[in-house]
C-alpha cells in the first residue's frame, strides 16, 4: 500500500479532519480474582461485577489485565500474523476470501470498493461454521464456512486454533460477569453460544502517506455480542465517548485486552448497555497489527430483549431477529450491493 492511488484519495477525501481527546481513557479492570478457584465466593467479586457493569453502561468499552490468557500463545499469534503479512501479495491471494467463502485474506488496495486502509485475514473459531446460505427469510438452507490456511506457514493453523481456545475461555468469563451485572444468573447467556459463529481477524495497517484523509477502519459498531481486541503498542483505536460524543484514543496497555459490548448485548439488555461507535486511525510512519475476536451466537439464535429485564415499566425496545440471517446479510454485503440498506439493529426498534 505504499503508493497512494488517486481513486483512494477521491474515496476518502470527504472524511473530516480528526479531532481527538487524549484526556480520559476507558476503564482498566483487573480480572485477577477470576484466576482463583473460589472466586465466586470472594467478597471481591461484587466489586468486580460493579466495575464491569459501570464500564458497560457508561463507556461500552473497557480494558482488562490479569485475564488469564497465556502470554506465550498471544505472542505466537502476533508473530505468525507478522509472518503472514510478510508473504508476497500473490501468496496471500492464494487464500483470498470470496462470495462463496468469506474467510481468508482481503485487502483494500486491490479492490474497487475502497473503504478502509488495511488488509485482513479471517478465520472462524469452529471449523466448519454453519450459517444460513442466504439472507432471504424463506430460505432455510445452510452453508459451511471453512477456514483457509497458507501453504508456506504450516504452523499458522495450530497457533490460531490455540489462541481461539484462549479467547473462548475469556469470553465466557466476561459473559458471566456481564450477566451478574444485569442481575441475571451467571450462565444465563451461555446457551446462545452452543454452536457459536465467532471469528478472529488478523488486521494489518501499513503506514499511510495521507493519515489525515484515511481511516484504518471507519466509524462503526460491532454487530455481535462481545469483541476482545489485542493491539500492539502503536495504537490507533478511538472510542466515541457517550457523555459528549468526543473521540477518545485508547492508550495501549501492555498485555491488556480491550473489550467492547456489541449490538447483541445492547438488545439483550434492552438498551441498558449500549454498543458504542469506534474507529481506527492510521499512522504515517509505523505499521500496526491488531487481533479482534468477535463473539457471536449460534446461527439459529433469535436475538431479543431478555424476558427477565422487561416489564410494564421497561417494555421491550426491539423486535426479535434471527442472528444467522443478520450475519449472512452482513457477510454478503461485503461482495455485492444488496437491494436493502446494510442491516442494523435499529431496523428492529419498536
**DSSP string across 87-144:** S-HHHHHTTB--SS---EEEESTTSS----S-EEEEEESSSSEEEES-S-TT---EEE
Determine how many CB atoms are found less than 10 A away from the CB of residue 333. Answer: 15
- 128 prior amide bond cis, ω within 30: yes
Is the separation of the CB atoms in 304 and 316 below 8 Å? yes
Is the separation of the CB atoms in 263 and 60 below 8 Å? no
Return the domain boundaries, the chain. Answer: 6-348
Residue in the structure block whose three cell numbers are 485487502: 107
Superfamily of domain 6-348 in CATH is B-lactam Antibiotic, Isopenicillin N Synthase; Chain (2.60.120.330)
* Helices and strands, number each (H, E), in the chain: 7, 17
Check residue 109 and give its pLDDT: 60
pLDDT profile of the chain (350 residues), mean per 10 = 46 44 77 86 89 97 96 97 96 91 82 66 96 86 95 96 98 98 97 97 87 73 97 92 93 95 98 96 88 98 98 96 91 52 84
Q: Where are the alpha helices (DSSP H) in the chain?
A: 6-12, 44-58, 71-85, 89-93, 156-181, 263-268, 323-332
Q: Report the alpha-carbon distance of residue 105 to residue 119 in Å, rounded.
A: 7
Amino acid at each position: 500500500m505504499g503508493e497512494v492511488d488517486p481513486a483512494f484519495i477521491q474515496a476518502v477525501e470527504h472524511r473530516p479532519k480528526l479531532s481527538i481527546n487524549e484526556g480520559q481513557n476507558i476503564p482498566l479492570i483487573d480480572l485477577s480474582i477470576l484466576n482463583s478457584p473460589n472466586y465466586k465466593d470472594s467478597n471481591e467479586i461484587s466489586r468486580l461485577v460493579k466495575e464491569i457493569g459501570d464500564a458497560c453502561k457508561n463507556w461500552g468499552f473497557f480494558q482488562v489485565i490479569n485475564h488469564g490468557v497465556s502470554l506465550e500463545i498471544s505472542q505466537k499469534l502476533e508473530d505468525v500474523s507478522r509472518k503472514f503479512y510478510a508473504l508476497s501479495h500473490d501468496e496471500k491471494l492464494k487464500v483470498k476470501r470470496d462470495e462463496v467463502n468469506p474467510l481468508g485474506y482481503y485487502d483494500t488496495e486491490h479492490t474497487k470498493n475502497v473503504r478502509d486502509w488495511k488488509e485482513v485475514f479471517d478465520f472462524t473459531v469452529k471449523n466448519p461454521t454453519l450459517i444460513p446460505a442466504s439472507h432471504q427469510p424463506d430460505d432455510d438452507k445452510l452453508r459451511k464456512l471453512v477456514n483457509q490456511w497458507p501453504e508456506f506457514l504450516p504452523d499458522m493453523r495450530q497457533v490460531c486454533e490455540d489462541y481461539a481456545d484462549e479467547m473462548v475461555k475469556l469470553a465466557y468469563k466476561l459473559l458471566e460477569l456481564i450477566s451478574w451485572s444485569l442481575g441475571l444468573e451467571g450462565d444465563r447467556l451461555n446457551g446462545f453460544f452452543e454452536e457459536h459463529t465467532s471469528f478472529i481477524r488478523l488486521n494489518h495497517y501499513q503506514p499511510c502517506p495521507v493519515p489525515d484523509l484515511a481511516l484504518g477502519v471507519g466509524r462503526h459498531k460491532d454487530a455481535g455480542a462481545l469483541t476482545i481486541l489485542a493491539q500492539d503498542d502503536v495504537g490507533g483505536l478511538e472510542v466515541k465517548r457517550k457523555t459528549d460524543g468526543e473521540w477518545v484514543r485508547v492508550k495501549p496497555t501492555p498485555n491488556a485486552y480491550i473489550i467492547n459490548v456489541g449490538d447483541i448485548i445492547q438488545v439483550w439488555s434492552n438498551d441498558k448497555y449500549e454498543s458504542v461507535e469506534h474507529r481506527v486511525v492510521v499512522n504515517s510512519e509505523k505499521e500496526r497489527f491488531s487481533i479482534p475476536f468477535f463473539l457471536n451466537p449460534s446461527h439459529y439464535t433469535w436475538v431479543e430483549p431478555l424476558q427477565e429485564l422487561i416489564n410494564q415499566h421497561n417494555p421491550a425496545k426491539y423486535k426479535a431477529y434471527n442472528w444467522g440471517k443478520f450475519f449472512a446479510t452482513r457477510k454478503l454485503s461485503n461482495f455485492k450491493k444488496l437491494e436493502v440498506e446494510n442491516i442494523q439493529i435499529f431496523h428492529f426498534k419498536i
